[in-house]
Structure 1
Amino acid sequence: MSKNDRFEVLYQETGLKSEKAIFADKETGVNYLFIADGFGGGLTPLLDAEGKAVITK
Structure 2
Amino acid sequence: MKKRFKVKLKEHLSGGLIKIVVDTETGVNYLMTSGLGLSGMTPLLDKDGKIVID
Which deviates more, 43-52 or 6-15? 6-15
1:27 to 25, 28, 51: 25
Distance 2:45 2:36 in 1: 25
1:15 is displaced (CA, Å) by 5.4
Matched residue count: 54
- 1:33 maps to a residue whose letter is L
Of Structure 1 and Structure 2, the greater helix share is in 1
- Matched with 1:17 is 15
Q: Is the 8 A contact 2:17 2:36 kept in 1?
A: no
**Paired residue secondary structure (2:42):** strand
Aligned-CA RMSD value: 1.7
Distance 1:13 1:47 in 2: 18
Unaligned runs of 5+ in 2: none
Distance 1:15 1:48 in 2: 21
TM-score normalized with structure 1 length: 0.79
2:38 to 18, 31, 40: 40
Distance 2:14 2:43 in 1: 25
